Structure 1
Amino acid sequence: MTEKTNTYECIIVGAGIAGLQAAIQLGRYMHKVMVIDSEDGRSNLCRGYHNILGWPDGVSGETLRDLGKKQAAQYGIEFIKDYVIEAKKSNERISVKTESGKTYESTTLLLSTGIKDRIPEIKNIIPCLGVSIYVCPDCDGYEVRNQHVLLLGSGKTGASLALTLTYWTEKITFINHDGEVEQSLLEKLKQKNIDVIHEEIEAIVTENESDFKGVTLKNGQTIQGDKGFIGFGGNAVHSELAKQLGVERLENKHVLVDPRTKETNITNVWAAGDLIAHSEQVTIAMADGCQAAIWIHKRLLKNNQ
């Protein structure tokens, strides 16, 4: 017996910040929308965004996601926890298949699958993220001003981030967990008085679970610091579904979209958030999601005329 296919006006893959903002906007247009999310997104890891309008004391990614989901549900948006493994477009219909074997169809599709940071298996690191260990200098460089920062990173990515942080502090130690650092970068680090340690990190030294105090290296040495920053590189861009649909991607696998509409080169397929090439900010992801939803609504109106 063939399972019945569920049909929607729009399917959103990914319930991160961009996906939820789009869901809220489409819900206010009273469209039939399904959001499919594996609940393993990047925003789950951040315990404190401090550069968002209206949250002067900071807000966690988890809180934003919970509030966004409740807000979208008020407008009749449907949610399902699952993982989309396949996306196809045939004529005017788009279908997605999930890991659980279910298939959903829609007129339009929004991909907001984001990226995932490469974080090596270092003991105690996860509880500190967004609290005392940071990822994004644009978001949280301010949090480490004039403090001793341990830059936990790899090769060129870590070295470059250490140099970036000199805008906020002159006390930086770069711990090169893995990867090679070219001589020209080492010279720049030296010029900025940044100490460099080439050694794998065993564990984060914490107080009260999430308060960063330093690191223990695999050679047994302990390095003390006030705050941490990570820059390991090798982040995964989740654009596999876009590739299946024939969506144009950059060499780094980010998706290309129309700057105004956020639609990809494939008609009726949109993308928003960290999946596309931008500054990877929560506020920009919100704008992407809202903008995409507006143009999805326009397309649905046009199709129904």
Structure 2
Amino acid sequence: MPEVKKIATRESYGNALVELGKKHDDVVVLDADLAGATKTGTFKKAFPERHIDCGIAEADMMGIAAGIATTGKVPFASTFAMFAAGRAFEQVRNSIGYPHLNVKIGATHAGISVGEDGATHQCLEDIALMRMIPGMTVVVPSDDIEAKAAVEAAYEHKGPVYLRFGRLAVPVINDRPDYKFELGKGVLLREGSDVTIVATGLEVGSALEAADRLAQDGVSAEVINIHTIKPLDEEIILKSAAKTGRVVTAEEAFIAGGLGGAVAELLSAKLPTKLARIGVDDQFGESGPAVELLHKYKLDGEGVYEQVKAFLG
């Protein structure tokens, strides 16, 4: 079998910013002394006059980004998810969300796949936190192609956007001529009749692998990629839930308040359906190799397969 191309979505973020900068001179990129890790260093090299290193002061960076947005520029404030959604939450809420400013937040190193950096840096609550801010668009790309498309779409969208990227290199799964990215629109990747797997981020790849394994057991799994957590594509989820009667969500985040929470809210209000949520359940992560952590917390293809099988009984 040919080797599957893998790339970390944080790399995609840095590359996409450079391409965006070539096309739009109103793009400004900020980072908090992490240009190498967030890959914004590529933009800094190409457009040094439009890059601002704010130092290790993430809250200040969000305030600066807010100020820049009021001048008509389009700032991309970049740092680890733990600092963007955690340390700077108040500034994101009050300085960006409340006045609904056109700031894009590039949050890298999200989820448990940060690996050896451990629990303090493995931000699992960011989807829930950002989802709660009125008017905030929340996007979790599944691969390199989707990440680049998401950055472009975020620029075109008027209003605050939270973009969640990972450290771990993940398979490219959207390399096909008919791929189309649209904010707020889910993507049906695989049709099925027995169960719906609604996944986001790197869990999309895990869901597809799980679906292959389930097929060997005679189980037909429908797989939906929800790259935009907010606004949620209710139509695609409800249509699939009505067909299969059973739904599983999969995310590299806490199941409380994230994609699983959003889907649970939707189904309970509009189409009560048996639901299982795959993610991290009320516990912190730990230090270790990313791939081993994904396996331990049952977020890899095997883990998703096992949990879906258990759910189906």
Q: TM-score, normalised by structure 2?
A: 0.27
Larger radius of gyration: 1
More helix by share: 2
More strand by share: 1
The structure, 1 or 2, with the larger RCO (C-alpha pairs under 8 Å, 6+ apart) is: 1
Q: TM-score, normalised by structure 1?
A: 0.28
